[in-house]
Amino acid sequence: MAKIDLDSLNIEELAALRDAATDRLAQKVIARQAELEAELESLSQYGKLAKKALVAPVVSKPKKGDEAVRKTDEAKDTVTKATVANKDAAAKAA
């Protein structure tokens, strides 16, 4: 960046320089804010996946030999598969 001799500038030139610097700074702030919002949006999907993975259904323990045992095992398998799928999707997105 070229050095500017501020002492040699008159009031109007200094005011114009200040306005140009303020405008440029505002542009940079807006650009950086857009970058941060985009990054926050991409990171927020991981928080949603993590919350879904932490929620587990409440299943009561059935008696041995009961038909409910088979259904409970199937439900556990389904939850496990969904959890693994969510983790795989999060890993691929990263």
Amino acid making up residue 66: D
Instruction: Please list the pLDDT of the chain residue by residue as tens digits (94 residues).
Output: 789 899 999 999 999 999 999 999 999 999 999 999 999 999 988 887 666 666 656 656 656 566 656 666 676 777 666 666 666 665 665 5
Please, are residues 72 and 59 in contact by the beta-carbon 8 Å criterion? yes
- Model pTM? 0.46
Structure tokens at 69: 């045992």
Structure tokens at 35: 């970058």
In the three-class reduction of DSSP (H, G, I as helix; E, B as strand; rest coil), residue 37 is classed as helix
Backbone angles phi, psi at 13, to 5 degrees: -65, -40
